Structure 1
Amino acid sequence: MQFAVEDPDSSQNFPRALFVWRSNLISSSGKGHEYFLKHLLGTSNGLLSEDSGELRPEEVKWHESAPEGKLDLLVSLDFRMAGNALHSDIVLPAATWYEKHDLSSTDMHPFVHPLNPAIAPPWEAKSDWEIFKGLARTFAEMAKTYLPEPKTDIVSVPLMHDSPEEIAQPFGRVLDWKKGETEAVPGKTMPKFVVVERDYTQIYDKFIALGPLLRKNPVGAHGISFPVQDQYEQLKKLNRTIDKPGVSEGLPTIESDRQVPEAILTLSSATNGQVAMKAWQAEEKKTGLELVDLAEERAAEHVTFADITVQPRQVIPTPVFTGSNKGDRRYSPFTTNIEHLVPFRTLTGRQHFYLDHEIMREYGEGLPIYKPTLPKMVFASQDQQPAEKDQSIVLRYLTPHGKWNIHSTYQDNLHMLTLFRGGPNVWINDQDAAEASISDNDWVEVYNRNGVVTARAVVSHRMPRGTMYMYHAQDRHINVPGSTITNERGGTHNSPTRIHLKPTQLIGGYAQLSYGFNYYGPIGNQRDLYVAVRKLKEVNWLED
């Protein structure tokens, strides 16, 4: 048995089509920006690195020539013409937060907020839901010609956290079934395999309805599951049902973006008191503790979209999250674990300072430990190294969260640009700057084997010596001059970066170290790198 990951450079394993929904992947999110440009998109790039023949993988097939341009189609759903949209084949104009119905909430604070349209989406813009619904309608219609019969796929499913498979590797010992060290057992020594039937002609009909499995299957998260049959029937009255004959006839409709948040609020244990009670009862059965009193005082509540439109509403305490806001208490994580003795979602049910997995022990990280930064390396011997004709200095390069933007958005907004230098900038210590003859507001070139970025220097004594900051989400479409190294316009804050996969973050099948989407994966160690910095003697805007 072979997996695609064992030969990612084979053309049959390429990611051929990619839809990016309100995310600036090709710029602010893609660690290793120039690698994305070269290998994913196959476009102009500032990559200066060359492959080394010294270290090659043993279990992944090596291709002498790395493929360029794996992607055939890149589609952006966005309301900004930022990095990702500029590189896309198709840009679908999305509605902003003030032009659609939606929900906003996090597990960091105890309120649910509504998004309501102040105006209709202008011109051809549509809400995300309307865009995907339109795609589903067209795809389903085309499928009647090109994919008329149902297709069966075998899907590989990881050993998930909060499932029996999370203790699939006793004592954290990894045995490789491909090497004959153990028997290949799906869901234990290898991923689970699930057979899925897909009828592409029914995609649209299924998209606009809430599926029937909610009538018999529980819902939940983080190891808690509870029935919602009553709420499913309630939604038929709140949202109405599909009356079109077919697979969705009689099911609750979620055809409009206004109906979707209503379905979420009705089925969530954080906004429906009856569902919260079912969730706490499930937690009681699981732990043997008395816990329903945490939500009892709000058991009769059902927060609707109309309710939160009047004013944001506090969530109802739920075992899906570890905090409790009972009695108007402010939300703080892990209060149910500490005060009510609900076990932590770990191997022992307690907080862990020691991790006995063999990979953690092999790397000397069974206990929390300080490890120094990686050795300084700006270029390897085989790389395309620029001529050092100008005075330069080597600094550690970090990309903290954005300063003059709203997270990763609106850096190119005129109000944000006028708050500071009006374009890309990097921060450097005053003594480091003097060593490279760099003055405040000079244009500089920041480069290493991964790429090049041009920006204005912000010289400050508050910066630690030996370190450079470039705040993240600084795109390359506003006031970016050319690079003398690449003869291209300077890159983004992610141009000098690349992904460093740390093996300890690839552990799976071991309690809290098991896979969980968007919960467990590589951290920011890919930012542990160095750059050379030099002053741009001449600023070329590449306008000739």
Structure 2
Amino acid sequence: MSAVMNRRGFLKSAAALMGSLSLPGFVVNAAAGVAGGNAPAVPLYTSWKDVYRSQWTWDKVVRSTHHLNCWYQAHCSWDVYVKDGIVYREEQAAEYEQINPELPDYNPRGCQKGGCFSERMYDDTRITHPMRRVGPRGSGKWERVSWDEALDDIADAYLDVTVEEGTDRTIWDLGPGIDLGVSMAAQGRFSMLTQSISLDMDGEIGDSRRGTLETFGKIAFERSADDYFYSDLILFWGGNPIYTQIPQAHFFTEARYRGAKIISVAPDYNPSAIKSDLWIPIKPGTDAALAMAVCHLIVAGGHVKEAFVKEQTDLPLLVRTDTSRFLKQADMQAEGREDHHMLWDAHSDSLQTAPFRSLALEALDPMLDVSRSVTLKDGQRVEVRSVYSLLRDRLADYTPEAASQMCGVSPKMIRRLAHEIVSVDKVANIAQTSMCKYYHGNLAERAMALIFALTGNIGRRGAGFSGFPVLNVDGGDKFALTPNMREVAETFGRLEPFIQQRLDAGDSHEMVVQGLGRLMFVPGNPLIRLPIWTSGTLFWSVHGGIGELSARAEEWGLGNKRPLQAYLDESLSKQWQPLQPAPDRPPRIMISLVSNPLRRLRGSEKLLEVLWPKLKKVVVMDWRINSTARHADYVLPAAPWYERTNLKWVTPLSPYLTTCDQATAPLGEAKTDWSIIVLLAKHIQKRARERGISAVKSPQGLEVKLDTLYDDLTMQGEFREGDDDKVARAIFDLSSTHKNKTWDEVKQKGFARFDGLPEDPVSIGSMCEFPADDSIVPLTFHVRDKVPYPTASRRIQFFVDHPFYDELDELLPRFKAPPMIGGNYPLMMTGGKTRWSIHSTWRDSSLMLRLEARPEPYMLMSVADAVQRGIADDDWIRVRNDIGSFKCRAKVSPSLRPGQTLMHHAWEQYQFEGPGDMNTVSPSPLNPVELAGGHPHLTAGLLQGQNSVFDRDTRVEVERIADGGRT
């Protein structure tokens, strides 16, 4: 539709729309009859102004939000305006109270995607009734079916597979849209009761934060956004928050009014660099070299905060030079413990056991730079060195001059960056997931964390290294895992011996709660019946065939000592990375819940070739036809956010639980996720009874009752289909995070600030208070209260003593050059979050495409690279490497450096011209260190410790297509 509309066209369109909806102020004019006796709706107005004004009358306004993976900006409360059962528009609620006169408030919160969802939910992509495929998969041929037809057919397929092949052959593909609220309560209970497999998508969407896990024993910890107002220096390093954190952006810019300085480290001159005081351009994928050079200068210049380093980090701990492993108490004493580490005490000039239950050093004064000989309990004499001593040797290779050759930043600029960091009191960085999308991104994160540890910028107001921001009410697990609401305490009471045993052994409360998240990756756990989770990345690689795309990985300069398959085989054989189902047990049914793997997975076309033929049923639950739905057997219409009541995880950056209150009934025959899953259980139970099927055993021997599945999932009818509000209330009431308000109060207001730290396996990682009148400062329980970190050393850990890390020379942080993934080609294909969509949900929205630089897929490339290839702005180009190719438009930009290209994410497959899409050229080989296990804090758990995917190192060549992309 044209952006320009004349007065007559406006009146005609407005009258037709409002007449068809029978809005107030319109009557049927009987005198204006038409053939057949039907009279048109004629508006009563005296001028166009009356038509315009009638838009601003409403039947009701409810509070709601868009419960999608906005992540760093999640989430915002909106007023949703309803008239005649239709959502007309939404506005930012903008009622967040100022908590402290010194701090900015959280108003306004919202973005352009949320501001047009009332249009998006009614556009041509919306589906409102179940559809069944009638042609070949992907042919686009469908028929409308009833819910009973669809669910009976799916139920029969499920029973056939479960009885004949096993409970683990049904896979739940969980995408970035999962809520950890009402929808996941249904899925979690279904998975727990049936022992089907849930795919953890965190690594396979590139959000693994592996280096953060290696260093802190967790990935999830973050401040509230207003805490940046206390910072002296904010590093935009590894992200573009002005572009991607729209509701948070004002906190960064307002901090500058108080005197904060912003430094942006990025390859391209992006929107965040524009708003910075200093931009440091860097070669893509070389951030570890720059960070190591800064650490070199910090140490060489005597700027190390020694008191912090001695107490909070592993740098004073001793390492055996003969084994490259930590020196343990078990090495020195007959009854010594393997989990107790050793240090050299300056006061007594002797070997001492490092504090275990607390980080407090008491009378100890650990020496940092240690190189000595000690006698082991067997009489053997060995050399030991402190981690700090080993680190000094490693940092010697990263002088500013040497690092400049690696990262492209001048020695003078490296020295300036180090000076800016050490000359202020409080340094903070941003939380984003850019580094971990590089093959060696874990090393960059470890090196950046080292800067913050050496300078003591952790666990203080206005200062800190940012982890992964997750915050969730902790009632969801209680709801999902219990037989009924009366047995919550009894169910979780079964864990009491396990919990007490861990506490008695010296583990912290955080370690115990985090351990429960790891139990979900151990099928058939005897302590408590749990849902089964597995790594999505590993699943797609092994069962989906994506691993086959890396057959030529040895040619790409990955730096591995053995073929990738050798590391994978060792990891699987030792169950370091548990894969469910096992490699020899192919999946048969996949249910995709608010997910879109054929759009987002690198090398996703391989799934159609390898995985899809194995699957007897592919079921997609969504409210629109996305790339994956086009290749499904069934598409079940799910109600979007305004059509249901819900609550969802958020982030500490905006520490407010944000709720959805149902504004309108689901359109057509659409149902909520909760209702669809509950009804599926109902049909499975019905068909099981009709077929005489009662129960089966899981591969681990747990009983799975099929003839009572609906009864058990609904807690004997306590929570039935349609009970979304009731389920949300139960989850809220079971949570410990909001005790000052009722569910009805929160639902009406639309948001409520968290009262305290959730006892959730992921959210607990922030380890801090949630004050009502000040900012949130993560890790204060560690820094202030001396609670150990959940690492093997119980400290911020920079030495990872695992065989894979030893073999690959990653015991300590270092720089490794980006590999040439996809072949030896001159251009690196970097990426970033799009501003115009949240994942793919708005990617084909007509309104958002109007705002895009191009209304179709395009690749940004530098002026120099474009001129060299004879490419002009908006030309059609072919992007290719050894793996594949795709076509798109060129956007020539002066903001990119030569050798760098950039494609923002989330384009749907069908938006590309011809075969292939941007994922076609990205094989994403596994990184061996991410297959490591058998180690206290490298074990897989919810949202952490799993394999990642890497697309930022992809190498390509680009060529102009002369005939407009048709060849």
Gap change, CA 1:319 and 1:121, over 3 Å in 2? closer
Tell me the residue number matched to 1:316: 755
Gap change, CA 1:81 and 1:497, over 3 Å in 2? same
Q: Deviations over 1:448-473 (max 9, x none)?
A: 23332211111112112112111111
Relative to total residues, which structure has the larger helix share, 1 or 2? 2
Gap change, CA 1:12 and 1:124, over 3 Å in 2? farther
Tell me the residue number matched to 2:555: none
**Contact 1:34–1:450 (CA under 8 A) maintained in structure 2:** no
Q: Deviations over 1:485-506 (max 9, x none)?
A: xxxx243321211231111111
Distance in 2 of aligned mates of 1:476 and 1:377: 20
Confirm or deny that 1:122 pairs with 2:667.
Answer: yes
Tell me the residue number matched to 2:787: 342
Confirm or deny that 1:464 pairs with 2:897.
Answer: yes
**Contact 1:103–1:261 (CA under 8 A) maintained in structure 2:** yes
Q: 2:611 aligns with which of 32, 40, 58?
A: 40
Q: Using the TM superposition, give the Cα deviation of residue 413 of structure 1 relative to its aligned residue in structure 2, in angstroms.
A: 0.2
**Contact 2:887–2:965 (CA under 8 A) maintained in structure 1:** no
**Contact 2:737–2:756 (CA under 8 A) maintained in structure 1:** yes
Gap change, CA 1:505 and 1:526, over 3 Å in 2? farther
Confirm or deny that 1:398 pairs with 2:823.
Answer: no
Q: 2:923 aligns with which of 498, 510, 524?
A: 498
Tell me the residue number matched to 1:372: 817
Tell me the residue number matched to 2:932: 507
**Contact 1:498–1:527 (CA under 8 A) maintained in structure 2:** no
Q: 2:634 aligns with which of 90, 93, 117?
A: 90
Please say which structure displays the higher CA radius of gyration: 2
Q: 2:950 aligns with which of 490, 515, 525?
A: 525
Gap change, CA 1:107 and 1:31, over 3 Å in 2? same
1:230-309 mapped onto 2 (5 Å cutoff):
248=716, 256-272=723-739, 301=740, 303-309=742-748
Q: 2:693 aligns with which of 142, 148, 158?
A: 148
Gap change, CA 1:303 and 1:452, over 3 Å in 2? farther
1:69-218 mapped onto 2 (5 Å cutoff):
69-108=613-652, 109-146=654-691, 148-155=693-700, 195-209=701-715
Distance in 2 of aligned mates of 1:442 and 1:71: 40
Tell me the residue number matched to 2:29: none
Tell me the residue number matched to 2:798: 353
Q: Using the TM superposition, give the Cα deviation of residue 253 of structure 1 relative to its aligned residue in structure 2, in angstroms.
A: 6.8
How many residues are treated as equivalent by the alignment? 385
3-state SS of the aligned residue for 2:909?
coil
User: Looking at both structures, which has the greater relative contact order when contacts are Cα pairs under 8 Å and sequence separation is at least 6?
Assistant: 2
**Contact 2:661–2:747 (CA under 8 A) maintained in structure 1:** no
Q: Using the TM superposition, give the Cα deviation of residue 94 of structure 1 relative to its aligned residue in structure 2, in angstroms.
A: 0.9
Tell me the residue number matched to 2:908: 475
3-state SS of the aligned residue for 2:591?
strand
Q: Deviations over 1:214-267 (max 9, x none)?
A: xxxxxxxxxxxxxxxxxxxxxxxxxxxxxxxxxx37x67786111111121111
**Contact 1:105–1:111 (CA under 8 A) maintained in structure 2:** no
* Alignment gaps of 5+ in structure 2: 1-167, 170-538, 546-581
Confirm or deny that 1:439 pairs with 2:439.
Answer: no
Q: Using the TM superposition, give the Cα deviation of residue 536 of structure 1 relative to its aligned residue in structure 2, in angstroms.
A: 1.3
Q: Using the TM superposition, give the Cα deviation of residue 349 of structure 1 relative to its aligned residue in structure 2, in angstroms.
A: 2.1
**Contact 1:343–1:349 (CA under 8 A) maintained in structure 2:** yes
Distance in 2 of aligned mates of 1:268 and 1:427: 46
3-state SS of the aligned residue for 2:955?
strand
Distance in 2 of aligned mates of 1:130 and 1:208: 11
Tell me the residue number matched to 2:842: 410
Gap change, CA 1:397 and 1:305, over 3 Å in 2? farther
Q: Using the TM superposition, give the Cα deviation of residue 202 of structure 1 relative to its aligned residue in structure 2, in angstroms.
A: 1.1
**Contact 1:100–1:116 (CA under 8 A) maintained in structure 2:** yes
Give the AA of the match of 1:92.
L
Q: Deviations over 1:283-336 (max 9, x none)?
A: xxxxxxxxxxxxxxxxxx354244233241111212632232224322333232
TM (normalized to structure 1)? 0.66
**Contact 2:674–2:724 (CA under 8 A) maintained in structure 1:** yes
Distance in 1 of aligned mates of 2:656 and 2:604: 36
Tell me the residue number matched to 1:238: none
**Contact 1:337–1:343 (CA under 8 A) maintained in structure 2:** yes
Gap change, CA 1:377 and 1:151, over 3 Å in 2? closer
Gap change, CA 1:336 and 1:450, over 3 Å in 2? same
Q: Using the TM superposition, give the Cα deviation of residue 105 of structure 1 relative to its aligned residue in structure 2, in angstroms.
A: 2.6
Gap change, CA 1:134 and 1:376, over 3 Å in 2? closer
Give the AA of the match of 2:603.
G
**Contact 1:266–1:302 (CA under 8 A) maintained in structure 2:** no
Distance in 2 of aligned mates of 1:342 and 1:254: 44
Q: Deviations over 1:116-170 (max 9, x none)?
A: 1211110111111011111111111111134623212233xxxxxxxxxxxxxxx
* Alignment gaps of 5+ in structure 1: 42-68, 156-194, 210-247, 273-300, 380-392, 482-488
Confirm or deny that 1:330 pairs with 2:762.
Answer: no
Distance in 1 of aligned mates of 2:650 and 2:697: 36
Distance in 2 of aligned mates of 1:262 and 1:507: 40
Distance in 2 of aligned mates of 1:319 and 1:355: 29
Distance in 1 of aligned mates of 2:720 and 2:626: 35
3-state SS of the aligned residue for 1:458?
strand
Gap change, CA 1:11 and 1:350, over 3 Å in 2? closer
Q: Deviations over 1:356-403 (max 9, x none)?
A: 112111111111111101136538xxxxxxxxxxxxx74111232223
**Contact 1:112–1:308 (CA under 8 A) maintained in structure 2:** no
3-state SS of the aligned residue for 2:698?
strand
3-state SS of the aligned residue for 1:399?
strand
Q: Using the TM superposition, give the Cα deviation of residue 538 of structure 1 relative to its aligned residue in structure 2, in angstroms.
A: 1.4
Give the AA of the match of 1:128.
D
Gap change, CA 1:412 and 1:443, over 3 Å in 2? same
Distance in 2 of aligned mates of 1:107 and 1:271: 15
Distance in 2 of aligned mates of 1:308 and 1:343: 37
TM (normalized to structure 2)? 0.38
**Contact 2:675–2:721 (CA under 8 A) maintained in structure 1:** no
Tell me the residue number matched to 1:452: 885
**Contact 1:261–1:305 (CA under 8 A) maintained in structure 2:** no
Tell me the residue number matched to 2:594: 22
